[in-house]
Structure 1
Amino acid sequence: MASQQNVVQASAKVISQSWLIILAFAAIYFIWGSTFLAALIGLQGFPPFMLAGLRFLLAGGLLLTGCLLSGERLPALREVAKNSISGILMLSGGTGSIIWAEQYISSGLAAILIATEPFWFIVLDRKAWRQYFSNKWIVMGLCLGMAGFLVLFLWPKQGESLFAHQISITAIIVVLVGAVSWVIGSLYSKYRTTTHSLWMNSSLQLIIAGVFCLLVSSITENWQGFAWDKVATGAWMALFYMSVMGSIVAYTAYIWLLTVRPPAVVGTHTYVNPVVAVVLGWLFAHEPVLLPQIISLLLILAGVLLVNIPTYQKSS
């Protein structure tokens, strides 16, 4: 009888974890993919860097509160400095640039451009160049990703639709610079490790990035013409969604999945996020989905797949 109870309990535990894994993958696939649309909605009520700053401060404050309540102590000044550099590069530069650019380009196009991040990791991680460029799959993936990127610029009569204004080209460049900034910050964090928990480091990075974005906002954006009581309900909801669901729930799900599933499998969100962003932008923001965007997305995602083949082979 006892053995039957143990079997039932073990089965229930497996089923419970299976559901948690499904929900966690749903979070990193769809929540992260939907934050591009949420940013677009948030921009209807907030200036871009104010929106980014409030998002980071809210998420970082909640995470830091959780760390302190669990008994974790604040790190030394040197650790704070490392997290400051990572947070400003990754969040202010990476995510902040996306929010700013979505004033001028579609959320789907921004997501397609951000999908190139795996290629920037290869190009900028100089310490691993010998490993990367000696692998045929990675080299082929880089070439395919570059082809996908060039489609956006070289497609015949592209300028009549996608690049109707000079500011659109500027916004695309800003997103790409932001992607590079995210990768540099990630590599800095990788090679300049800190001693505190991932949660404490993340909370500090978010808070510092939030303060930095608000500082940029105070200098470059017109706060005198801003009225809190005039912010639409949808913009507030988008802000809280990005903060709680995007920066806390999905991120927590991502970290947990890394402990129960191979990193290569968890990393499949790279393929799903831009597709979700493009579809949601088309459905809810009535953003046009142009043929060159579809071709570019397919080529970039195929390139990312090739780049990750060595990782998949190791994890199998």
Structure 2
Amino acid sequence: MSVKDWLLALCVVVAWGVNFVVIKVGLQGMPPFLLAGLRFTLVALPAVFFVPRPRLPLRWLVAYGMTISFGQFAFLFLAIKLGMPAGIASLVLQAQGFFTLLLGALLLGEALRWNHFLGIAIATLGMFVLAEGGMLNQTTTGLTLLTMLLTLGGALSWAFGNISNKVIMSRHGA
């Protein structure tokens, strides 16, 4: 990789990490669903003026927006508001990759290979270790079963958004 590629990758890592700190700060001043709705509005509103509406049924546009933009962040913001540590949330949210694989197999009939199952098994074991360690120290970490499940709900919502996007792209080429 070139130096430029390394710097771009570093920018992504920094932006992702800072994002969760900003979420935690934002939740100190407003309720989680209001912050999620505000985020959705601030992302969508400028796009309305500069990006033409995709040529696809409204239901798919709503499905994508409600899963990727609102649902994912509503679950995540509520989890963080209830005490989920921002750093752990950023890791747990990545379960969306494995949820996307499973949903693709269940809803779209995509084939899962042995390496998918191995990855899902390792990730699930990691989630259990993370959850058990965090919940043993609830007073210091803020990680509870509820905050873990809410964050996983955000990951699942993100995965449904990924599936919606795949269907949209295959059916409408938008």
Specify the TM-score bucket, using the shorter chain as the normaliser.
Answer: 0.7 to 0.9
Structure 1 residues 160, 54: closer, same or farther in 2, change over 3 A? same
| Number of the residue aligned with 2:31 | 47
Q: Structure 2 matches for 1:99-118, cutoff 5 A?
A: 99-103=77-81, 104-118=83-97
**Superposed displacement of residue 75, structure 1:** 4.6
CA deviations over 1:28-51 (Å, ceiling 9, x no partner): 222122211110011111211111
Q: CA deviation at 1:176?
A: 0.7
CA change 1:163–1:178 in 2 (3 A) is: farther
Contact 2:76 2:89 in 1 (8 A): yes
Cα distance in 2 for partners of 1:161, 1:116 equals 22
Distance 1:181 1:139 in 2: 21
Q: Which moved more, 1:81-90 or 1:118-127?
A: 118-127
- Identity across the alignment (%): 22
Match of 1:188 among 160, 164, 173: 164
* 1:93 and 2:77 are equivalent in the alignment: no
Aligned length: 168
Q: Which residue of 1 aligns with 2:103?
A: 124
Give the AA of the match of 1:86: Y
Task: Give the alignment of 1:291-302 within 5 angstroms.
Answer: none
SS at 1:105's partner residue? Answer: coil
Which of the numbers 9, 13, 18 marks the counterpart of 1:34? 18
Structure 2 distance, partners of 1:159, 1:46, is 26
Of 124, 131, 140, which residue of structure 2 is paired with 1:146? 124
C-alpha change, 1:165 and 1:59, in structure 2 (3 Å) is closer
TM-score by length of 2: 0.80
1:147-177: CA deviation from partner (whole Å, max 9, x where unpaired) = 101113445xx54413789993212111111
1:180 is aligned with what amino acid? L
Q: CA 1:31 to 1:138, structure 2 compared with 1: closer, same or farther past 3 Å?
A: same
Secondary structure of residue in 2 paired with 1:115: helix
What is the 5 A alignment of 1:1-316?
Answer: 19=4, 21=5, 24-67=8-51, 72=52, 74-75=53-54, 79-103=57-81, 104-126=83-105, 127=108, 129-130=110-111, 132-133=112-113, 135=114, 137-155=115-133, 159-162=135-138, 168-193=144-169, 194-196=172-174
Structure 1 residues 220-247: Cα deviation after superposition (integer angstroms, max 9, x where no partner): xxxxxxxxxxxxxxxxxxxxxxxxxxxx
Give a deviation string over 1:30-88, Cα, whole Å, max 9, x none. Answer: 21222111100111112111111112211222223222xxxx4x356x53321101110
Q: What are the Cα deviations for residues 125-149 of structure 1, in whole angstroms up to 9, with x where unaligned?
A: 114553x23x3x3222222111101
The whole-number CA distance in structure 2 between the counterparts of 1:94 and 1:129 is 23
Unpaired runs of 5+ in structure 2?
none
User: Taking structure 1 as reference, are residues 160 and 151 closer, same or farther at Cα in structure 2, changes over 3 Å only?
Assistant: closer
Quick one: distance in 2 between partners of 1:165 and 1:117?
Answer: 23
CA distance in 2 between counterparts of 1:128 and 1:32 reads: 32
State how far apart, in whole Å, the 2-side matches of 1:150 and 1:56 are: 31
RMSD: 2.8
| Unpaired segments ≥5 residues, structure 1 | 1-14, 197-316
Q: Could you tell me the TM-score, scaled by structure 1's length?
A: 0.47
CA distance in 2, matches of 1:180, 1:91: 13
Runs of 4+ in 1 over 6 A off after TM superposition: 163-167
The structure showing larger relative contact order (alpha-carbon pairs under 8 Å, at least 6 residues apart) is: 1
